[in-house]
Amino acid sequence: MENIAALYLAHLNPVTNSHEKIISQLAKDYHVYVFPVVFLKEGREINTRTFPFPYELRKKMLQSLFDGHGNIEILPNYKFASPYIKYLPPIVSPYSWAVRTGILHDVQEERFISYTGDTAERIALRFYNLHPIKAKRLEISSSNVKELLYREALGHLRNQDSNNNMEDGSDNSNRINQLGGESWQGMVPKTVIRIILDNWNIVEKFAQSMDKTIKIFGMKFPTEGILH
């Protein structure tokens, strides 16, 4: 049977149970290439409240789930270099087509499909001749997970300020959502929970920051690097 590739282009910030499910299902029928999006400025990755976890951490999250799975590859080729304005408007800009070329650079198969659960993204992928298949939206979104992460981080920081007696170097593995309601830990794989807890400083940093992200033509970009 002819090999066909599946391209999964996503933020994956962070990786959720839904991402794991989608990639696992695709791997049953396709050689899967996972492309976590990367934003660069002068060779440095730009992260924001919307995109808190850098590529290497997202790759580590994916590897914790799929390492050794010969049918799944994780690649950094889905990247945008500042100034990001040059990629707009999408479809019209030749730079946006250069992104497509980069994505396909390491795809070995001649035939491929792409996956997204977003209707607008599916239309864009069709214009770029990336052959999107029809799919449902994620059951669990990274946006929901991030908001719960930030909520928990701010709650812990407030408790630290009020009590001022928490020991330095406390074990992050003992963190639980003490704020009531839904827990982010039920939305991400166990191995990803550990990676997030080991990098809790990132969560705390962006929980206390403004979101320096802008949405143009339905695409999200960091404001740093949008024009230069």
Using CA atoms, how far apart are residues 61 and 57, in angstroms rounded to an integer?
6
Q: Which amino acid is at 35?
A: F
Tens of pLDDT, residue by residue over 8-37, are 999 999 999 999 999 999 999 999 999 999
Tens of pLDDT, residues 130-185:
999 988 777 788 999 999 999 999 998 888 776 655 455 555 444 444 444 579 99
pLDDT in tens, 113-136: 999 878 888 899 999 999 999 887
Neighbours of 146 (CB within 10 A): 21
End-to-end CA distance of the chain: 48
Alpha-carbon Rg of the chain, whole angstroms?
19
All domains of the chain, ordered by start, with CATH? 5-133 (3.40.50.620), 142-214 (no CATH)
